[in-house]
Chain A
Amino acid sequence: MKIVVAVKQVPARDSQLRIAPAGQWIEEADLSYEINEPDAYALEEGLQLKEKHGGEVVVLCAGPARAAQTVREALAKGADRAIHIEEENLGAFDPLATARLLAAALQPEAPDLILTGLQSDDFGYGQTGVIMAELLGLPHATIIMQVEKQNGHIRVKRELEEGWFQNVEMPLPALLTIQSGISRLRYATLMGIKKAKTKELKRLTAAELGVAPDSPKIALERIYLPERAKRTQLFDGSPKEAAAQLVEKLKFEARVI
């Protein structure tokens, strides 16, 4: 089975974000980056399917030069080769343009299965995978917690609200968006890191793929920190002092102790 896993590099989860002066984006200067978490699970699922059924895992990533780090880590974990669409200004691409970019790189690969995370931790549109499926004319399913390959088709477990699930069958080729927690993530081994250096990493540009972010359908006008809906009583001082003040409030104001 030939599997392509589309991954994205995003600011690390525990980053403290600051808005850039123009209010268009965050300050990127001192951020550290990591693989988008649901994409890490998509990669893990791709690797496990390959281990069970044979074939190849190709990592596909659109992002600036720094995203090469995320691509190399995916190769170190066991992906066979990678395609990096190097694009410094991905912010100008709306989800449709981003999906066009990824689909253009995907098409010649003709994979049996395309996996990606259900949403990104940065924009969080949760749309790129489904749009890609529509552009490529493939069936899809989202928020997947299990993938089982059967004769010529797959059976997947879709997560629904409030603890419900549904099994869905579909033919291959298909596209799935993977939910975090589908399995346990592996770490790259020393051997894997060494091997990754010899693996194929193809670099492409948006121009080479013939995709430009012209006429975006939606525009991000401004970003800002949200206002607090509630006035939180914050307790300062040493941890001991803060804890004592909190307990006082919980006992005499909230009356829960």
Chain B
Amino acid sequence: MSILAVAEQRKSPEGQPVWNRMSWETLAAAQQLAREMNLPASAAVAGHGIQQLGGELASRQFEKAYIVEHPLLESYTPDAYAAALRQLVERVKPALVLFPHSYQVRDFLPKLATSLGRVAVSDVVAHRVEGGKLTLVRQLFQGKVNADVSFTSAGPNFASLQAGAYRAGQLQPGTAALETFTPELDPGSIRTKPLELFRESQRAVDLGAAELIVSVGRGIKEAENIELVRKLAEALGAELAASRPICDAGWLPMERQVGSSGQTVAPKMYLAVGISGAIQHLVGMKGARTVVAINKDPNAPIFEIADYGIVGDLFQVVPELTEAVRKAK
């Protein structure tokens, strides 16, 4: 019985294996849960030519650090990664396996869990241990509601952790016994062929450097209404940004999108207009010093991180705010 944290690496554009930074949060969470549940914790990383990364795991406070090494793990495929990690889980027999809730994990974890007759609890934001029983907290309805979820059977159980839910800084140094695990993988069983990694276009707008950002979400309803928010941004001298649905609809260019699939920003002020605050958006802007939200729903998740807020109809509030800003300058 133990807790196993599976860290994630990927190839940098230069071809070197590098950590997905979310891995450190997962490793720290594994140490924390292990303490609270009185279990040993181990860590693993899968890939090819990743000895150095394995060495980094071995210098943290874990019982064991596993390098899951195979040439067929060089490029990520769900078939190879699920098979390799299933074999590791069958060997190590952990009670609980933790992952970062990354795009890669979302791709293979449900497959891995299903192959072992389990269901992973995805996108966990917190946990409680009471009388040895683990309860995980996750969000429903785009972050509007929280849910307590528990496993109903003995391990191995699986969970993935939301970015920012655990603190990487809590990770304890130490020493772990380093072990290389070589899974049996058959090239014929890998059905998908990964091709090149690429970025769409050069970004003309660097929102990351903006001091003030006014951002618009689906509460704006129509493309024509964006003018209203643009005027507010102009009055403030702020960059105009948007949540994903606005860029998906083509109302603003993709390069103005803030969130997990867009840009990450950390302005002095982030003013969110008609943005409910789904986690995919929040991860892109929660580094802002001051967050202001204008939304008609008092329970919108954006208010959980807002310093200032107005609950009301943006079509009435925004013109008044633009006017007040102009006067104040």
Instruction: Name A's B-contacting residues (CB within 8 A).
Output: 11, 13-17, 19, 26, 94-96, 99, 118, 121-127, 130-131, 133-135, 139-143, 155, 158-171, 180-181, 184, 215-226, 228-230, 232-235, 239-240, 242-244, 246-247, 249-251, 254, 256-257
Indicate if the CB atoms of B321 and A243 lie closer than 8 Å: yes
Question: What's the nearest-Cβ distance from chain B to residue A116, in Å?
Answer: 12
A164 contact set on B, CB distance < 8 A: 197-199
**6 further contact pairs, Cβ within 8 A, besides A161-B102, A166-B198, A243-B317:** A165-B198, A180-B248, A217-B118, A217-B152, A218-B151, A247-B325
Residues of B105-130 whose CB lies within 8 A of A: 106-111, 113-115, 117-123
Indicate if the CB atoms of A133 and B111 lie closer than 8 Å: yes
Indicate if the CB atoms of A94 and B119 lie closer than 8 Å: yes
A-B contact pairs, 26 of them (CB 8 A): A16-B297, A16-B299, A130-B109, A140-B111, A155-B195, A163-B262, A165-B200, A169-B193, A216-B119, A219-B151, A221-B149, A224-B145, A225-B144, A232-B293, A234-B311, A239-B320, A242-B312, A243-B317, A244-B324, A246-B308, A246-B321, A246-B324, A247-B321, A254-B268, A256-B212, A257-B329
Nearest-neighbor residue (CB-CB) of B126 within chain A = A226
A13 contact set on B, CB distance < 8 A: 142, 218, 276
Indicate if the CB atoms of B145 and A226 lie closer than 8 Å: yes
Taken residue by residue from 302 to 329, chain B's Cβ proximity to chain A (1 for < 8 Å, 0 otherwise) reads as 0111111111110011001101110111
A130 to B111, CA, bound (A): 6
Taken residue by residue from 162 to 203, chain B's Cβ proximity to chain A (1 for < 8 Å, 0 otherwise) reads as 000000000000000000000000000001111111111001
Specify which of A125, A134, A163, A180 is in contact with B122 (CB 8 Å cutoff).
A125
A170 contact set on B, CB distance < 8 A: 191-193
Indicate if the CB atoms of B192 and A234 lie closer than 8 Å: no
Question: What's the nearest-Cβ distance from chain B to residue A253, in Å?
Answer: 9
Knowing A123-B140, A166-B196 are in contact, say whether A161-B103 is a contact too (CB < 8 A).
yes
Indicate if the CB atoms of B107 and A257 lie closer than 8 Å: no
Question: What's the nearest-Cβ distance from chain B to residue A169, in Å?
Answer: 4
A249 contact set on B, CB distance < 8 A: 308
Question: What's the nearest-Cβ distance from chain B to residue A122, in Å?
Answer: 6
Question: What's the nearest-Cβ distance from chain A to residue B248, in Å?
Answer: 3
A166 to B292, CA, bound (A): 35
A224 contact set on B, CB distance < 8 A: 145-146, 148
Indicate if the CB atoms of B110 and A130 lie closer than 8 Å: yes
Indicate if the CB atoms of A233 and B141 lie closer than 8 Å: no
A139 to B77, CA, bound (A): 10
Indicate if the CB atoms of A256 and B195 lie closer than 8 Å: no
Specify which of A15, A126, A171, A215 is in contact with B152 (CB 8 Å cutoff).
A215
| 9 A-B pairs closest in CB distance | A181-B248, A139-B191, A130-B110, A127-B110, A243-B320, A217-B119, A167-B195, A239-B316, A243-B321
Question: What's the nearest-Cβ distance from chain B to residue A198, in Å?
Answer: 32
Indicate if the CB atoms of A220 and B110 lie closer than 8 Å: no
Knowing A133-B111, A181-B247, A239-B317 are in contact, say whether A121-B141 is a contact too (CB < 8 A).
yes
